[in-house]
Every structure is written in structure tokens, then in C-alpha cells.
Amino acid sequence: MITLLEARNIGKRFGGLHALTEVSLTIHKGEVYGLIGPNGAGKTTFFNVLTGSYTPDGGEFVFNGSELPSGKPHKIVGRGIARTFQNIRLFRDLTALENVMAGHHIRTKAGVWGVLTQNRFTREEERLTTQRANELLDYVGIGHFAEVVSKNLSYGDQRRLEIARALATEPQLLALDEPAAGMNATETGQLKLLIEQIRRDGITVMLIEHDVKLVMGLCDRVAVLDFGKKIAEDIPTVVQKDEAVIAAYLGGGKHAD
Ligand SMILES: Nc1ncnc2c1ncn2[C@@H]1O[C@H](COP(=O)(O)OP(=O)(O)OP(=O)(O)O)[C@@H](O)[C@H]1O
């Protein structure tokens, strides 16, 4: 197994609140890795420090063998980590196609000068960016909505669009924050197929998700956070039976039935 991401003793405080305490985990190339836990456990905070939205108070991330810069989202995308957000963050007034093209621009070479002058090189690059964006919209299943303004898409399709935009940055690790939130059973089933396809295409996936069935059916391994600490990490069937996890995540014996 090849290690893609290693989180070493990650800590994050907000004032007196310890949102993450010495969280360490290792993600292997090609796996789907779930991050679960009760509300407020620190899952999104973990994504935020990994992807540079927040600077951790302690610890480090090693990606593909070298340390990631902290607090530099753009550089981290450039290193090959893309994410989606729990609260969808699209350019609401741009079309689906334009949203995906915006994601791809991090990989294009034409600088501001090229865009301003629209030289031949830039025009060719734009053509390829458009082509790639259309391919990605097809890939996530919303190719027919390329020209639709993103705020007019259904919730499920907006989530797919966010995935297409993240894929446009050509990531090696795709971090999905509650991708099934607000989806009905059919959409969730389609999402599962899409994530499986993404993995088959060689992209490692890290997933925060509350839909237990989806997590159990999709993830190779799962880590559980509770009050900012990792309390378990294993294959789904083992995690499901872990007493500390049952107590924390399912509300403990008092509520379990
Ligand atoms: N920017 C912030 N400022 C202050 N406190 C924060 C901030 N972000 C998160 N927190 C707190 O840190 C803790 C962890 O929050 P986080 O959003 O990471 O949890 P989560 O596991 O993703 O929860 P959920 O499943 O509800 O999304 C919570 O107590 C939250 O209130």
C-alpha cells in the first residue's frame, strides 16, 4: 500500500474549544476513506486545516512524501487536493460549464496577460478547458445542464457540479464534505456509483458523511472523531461494532435500540 496523505498530530483550537486534538491518520492511494462522528466532532475543521482554510495549531500534513504548506488553499489545490463544501459554494450566477472551467484554470498556463491579449496560445488553452469542462459535466451526469445557471440547478445537481469543479483541478485526493446531504435515495445511489467511478479512475477519496449506509457501503476504512479526538479507525464492519463508537456516534446504550 502506498501512503498518499499522513496527518500527524493535528491540533486546532477556537479559543478554549479544542476542535481537534492530536489527530493522526494515514490515507492510502486509491482508497475511499470515511471520516465520521457526531455533530461538532471536528470533521469539517479537519477538512479546513487540511485544505488550508485554517492554520492548525499543531501537527503537520505530509502529502506524497512532502509536507503541505499550512493556511494556503491555492497552493494545496496545486499540490493535488481538491474539496467540496458542506454548504455548497458555487459561483451561483455562472453556468455549470463556467463553474467547472473556473476550477480548471488553476492548471492552465496562460497568465493574466494571455487572457487580456487573447493570443493564439490562450485561445487554444480556452478551447481545451471548455472541452475538459464539458467532459467532466458528462462524467458527473449533468452534461445536459452545461448552459444552466448553477443557482437554478436542483440541490443534488449542484452537489454533482461541485464535484465536477473539484475534479477540474486534477486532484489526487478528493475531499467531499457531506456530498449526500439533501439528496433523496435515488440521488444518493447515483452518487455512490459516481464516487466508485472516481476511485476506479485513480483518485483517492476522503469523505465526511452522515449517511451511515453510504459510508458503510462505500468506504474501505473509516475514522471516527468524537470531541476532536480520533476514537476509532478500521474497516466499516469493525468500526460499526466498536463500543466507543456506538457510545459516541449512536448516542450510547441509553438510546440504542
Ligand atoms: N470558525 C470557528 N470558530 C469557532 N468555533 C468553531 C469554528 N469552526 C468550528 N467550530 C467549533 O468546532 C467544533 C467542531 O466543528 P466542526 O464543524 O468541525 O464539526 P463537524 O464534526 O464537522 O460537525 P457537523 O457534523 O455538525 O458538521 C464545534 O464545536 C464547532 O462549533
Q: For 188-246, what is each residue's pLDDT tens digit?
A: 999 999 999 999 999 999 999 988 889 999 999 999 999 999 999 999 999 989 999 88
CA 225 to CA 34: how far, in whole Å? 11
Neighbours of 40 (CB within 10 A): 14
- Start-end ranges of CATH 3.40.50.300 in the chain? 1-80+171-257
16 Cα: distance to centroid of ligand 1 (angstroms): 13
pLDDT band of residue 256 (cuts 50, 70, 90) is very low
Atom of ligand 1 lying closest to residue 37 CA: 21
Judged against a pLDDT cut of 50, whether residue 255 lies above it is answered with: no
124 Cα: distance to centroid of ligand 1 (angstroms): 44
pLDDT the model gives residue 116: 61
Judged against a pLDDT cut of 60, whether residue 252 lies above it is answered with: no
Lowest mean pLDDT among 54-68, 96-110, 163-177: 96-110
User: In this structure, which residue's CA is closest to atom 25 in ligand 1?
Assistant: 39
pLDDT the model gives residue 221: 97
1-80+171-257 topology per CATH: Rossmann fold (3.40.50)
Lowest mean pLDDT among 26-40, 51-65, 110-124: 110-124
Atom of ligand 1 lying closest to residue 210 CA: 25
pLDDT band of residue 257 (cuts 50, 70, 90) is very low
148 Cα: distance to centroid of ligand 1 (angstroms): 33
- What phi, psi does 27 have (nearest 5°)? -115, 130
Judged against a pLDDT cut of 90, whether residue 254 lies above it is answered with: no
> For 186, how many CA atoms within 13 A lie in the half-sphere containing its CB?
1
Phi-psi domain of 5 (left: phi exceeds 0; alpha: psi -120 through 50; beta: other): beta
91 Cα: distance to centroid of ligand 1 (angstroms): 24
Best mutation site among 20, 35, 45 for ligand 1 pocket (most ligand atoms within 8 Å of CB): 45
Per-residue model confidence as pLDDT tens digits over 122-155: 778 788 889 999 999 999 999 999 999 999 999 8
Name the pTM for this structure. Answer: 0.91
User: In this structure, which residue's CA is closest to atom 24 in ligand 1?
Assistant: 39
76 Cα: distance to centroid of ligand 1 (angstroms): 22
* Average pLDDT of the chain to the nearest whole number: 90
- Identify the residues whose C-beta falls under 6 Å from ligand 1: 14, 17, 19, 37, 39-45, 86
